Amino acid sequence: MSEFAAAFASEIRRAAHSVLFWWVLVIAPLTAMFILVAVFAGGQMRDLPVAAVDLDKSSASRDFLRKADSLPSMRIAQATDSQERGDALLRTGQACGVIIIPRNFERDLQALRPAKIIAYFDGQHMPAGSVLRRDLTDLSGEFWKAFYVEALERQGIRPQKAQSLAATLSIDLRAPGNASVDYRVFLDHGFLPVLIELSYLIYGVCRIKSEGAPGLGKSLGILAFAALFSWLWCSAIGFGLRCCGAAGNACPYAEVIIMYLLLMICCTAQALFIAGITDNRLQGLMFVSGMASPALAFTGLTFPLTAMPYFAAFWAGLLPVTHVLTAESAISQRGASLLSQLPSLEALALLALVYAAAGIAFLRVRARSAA
């Protein structure tokens, strides 16, 4: 315990003039969150550039493109008469989508025949494609309904009856956490824990390996200081997100603080394990990068864990942040209680025990070898 206390106190004094501390634990996660908040500030993607190919050149086609340009999610950045030119804009990244209005579009509408609009989206950026697909689908339905109502009214049908005949079935997508509805939910319950976990592991492993082969007490003292600071810093950033309205659909703050604390305890055990099985700082950083850097892909935020192959799901299960975000998602998006997330909490406890046991064993072996 004396070695632990001495190391903890030394880390406090050292932090004030440590470039590694200020850059990895303070500046890097804060800068990353500032960038992410700026990107997701509105909760949705807006003004995505779209190219328009109007082959019909009719009043109906121009009206449709004006309505598309007025949608918050998109703007008609370029208009061209060539589909090949539109495809080139999409392939070079100058447009996120291409809207093609074929010839005879207005003639088919006036004859009340099925009219078709073709749209291509950038498949490499799924959120952008999802937003554009949703809004263009809604717009096409509303555009056809308005045109059909006018045609019925010209035939002498009363407006109320025409509206009833033109009524269509619609779906209002309001899934909590749906990227096409509100991106901000990912800030507090996604990106922030991932950033803190990664920055903490980098700092903790670097500090331990820079001391050569420190004993268990000193290693725990180094990690305890970093974990305490990371927990307070993460909680402060999360509180700031809530105060500025950037947290989206947020969990109760007390439960978030508890989840962050459990995350840091488990990450401390993981850092012990990584420091114990690696020979030097370079190997430690490589192991952190290989094990924890893919955290965002393996946490279920972008791809459901149940749809991943067994190896990827197993890898995700080795990351503490996966279980933290599973619990946070259930609490923030489905209104679950913290106690109902016992499977995630038990997984965190099991990981902490396994990582800690393995890390302590390896560190003791290294300390005896160095002696």
Percent of all residues in the chain with a pLDDT value above 70, rounded to a whole number:
87
Predicted confidence at residue 186, as pLDDT, reads 75
pLDDT above 90: residue 228: yes
CB-neighbour burial class of residue 104 (10 A; exposed 0-12, middle 13-18, buried 19+):
middle
DSSP, residue by residue, 117-140: -EEEE-TT-HHHHHHHHHHHHHHH
Q: Which residue has the tokens 């290989």?
A: 290
Which pLDDT belongs to residue 173? 52
Q: What is the CATH number of domain 48-165?
A: 3.40.1710.10
Residues 312-327 have pLDDT tens digits of: 888 888 889 888 888 8
If you average pLDDT over residues 330-336, what whole number do you get? 72
Distance CA 300, CA 314 (A): 12
Query: Helix crossing, 192-210 with 216-243: angle to 10°?
Result: 160
3-state secondary structure (DSSP) of residue 330 = helix
Residues 17-62: pLDDT tens digits?
Answer: 999 999 999 999 999 888 878 766 666 677 889 999 999 999 999 9
Q: 145, 153 in Cβ contact below 8 A?
A: no
Rounded to two decimals, what is the model's pTM?
0.72
Q: Given a cut of 70, is residue 222 above it in pLDDT?
A: yes
Residue 172 pLDDT class (50, 70, 90 cuts): low
Q: What is the mean pLDDT of the chain?
A: 84
Read off the pLDDT of each residue in 187-201 and give the average, rounded to a whole number: 87
Domain map (residue ranges) of the chain: 2-41+182-370, 48-165
Cβ distance 281 to 207 under 8 Å?
Answer: no
pLDDT at 155 over 50: yes
pLDDT in tens, 71-99: 888 899 999 888 888 888 888 888 888 99
Q: Read off the pLDDT of residues 119-153 as tens digits, 9 standing for 90 and up.
A: 988 776 766 777 788 888 888 888 888 878 887 77
